[in-house]
């Protein structure tokens, strides 16, 4: 499945742009696990390693990590860089649903 196929879903798709060497990204991974438990099947959460997917990161002007981008039907609904609380992510996913 291509990146475009992943983000062109009817339900919200949250992309986490991260890198293995990034400390805040490790914190974000824990928060995203909690977020997934909160939202269940309401959204898909996908992690994209910027070191392995430089073209996608560049296409979406990801210049700092972690960066979260929430897509709905292929369109950017919300984006935020840095560590974001699960409650904030859940709120945005519910708005996009």
pLDDT in tens, 79-89: 999 999 999 99
Tell me, yes or no, if 22 is annotated catalytic: yes
Beta-strand relationship, 75-81 and 67-72: antiparallel
The answer, yes or no, to whether residue 1 has pLDDT greater than 90, is no
pLDDT at 80: 98
Give me the catalytic one of 7, 15, 22, 70.
22
Three-state DSSP state, 37: helix
Q: Please state, as a whole number, how many other Cβ atoms lie within 10 Å of the Cβ of residue 11.
A: 15
Q: Which residues span the domain enclosing 85?
A: 3-96
Q: Are 96 and 10 in contact (CB under 8 A)?
A: no
Number of domains in the chain: 1
| Averaged pLDDT for residues 21-37 | 98
Give me the catalytic one of 7, 14, 15, 25.
25
Print burial letters for 60-84: b (CB count within 10 Å at least 16), e (below 16). Answer: bebeebbbbbbbbeeeebbbeeeeb
CATH number of the domain residue 17 falls in = 3.40.30.10
Tell me, yes or no, if 47 is annotated catalytic: no
Average pLDDT, the chain: 97
| Averaged pLDDT for residues 29-45 | 97
């Amino acid at each position: 499945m291509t990146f475009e196929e992943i983000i062109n879903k009817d339900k919200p798709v949250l992309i986490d742009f991260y890198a293995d060497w990034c400390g805040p990204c490790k914190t974000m991974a824990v928060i995203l696990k909690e977020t997934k438990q909160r939202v269940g099947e309401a959204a898909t959460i996908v992690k994209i390693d910027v070191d392995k997917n430089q073209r996608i990161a560049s296409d979406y002007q990801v210049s700092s990590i972690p960066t979260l981008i929430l897509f709905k039907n292929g369109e950017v609904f919300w984006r935020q860089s840095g560590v974001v609380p699960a409650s904030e992510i859940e709120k945005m996913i519910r708005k996009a649903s």
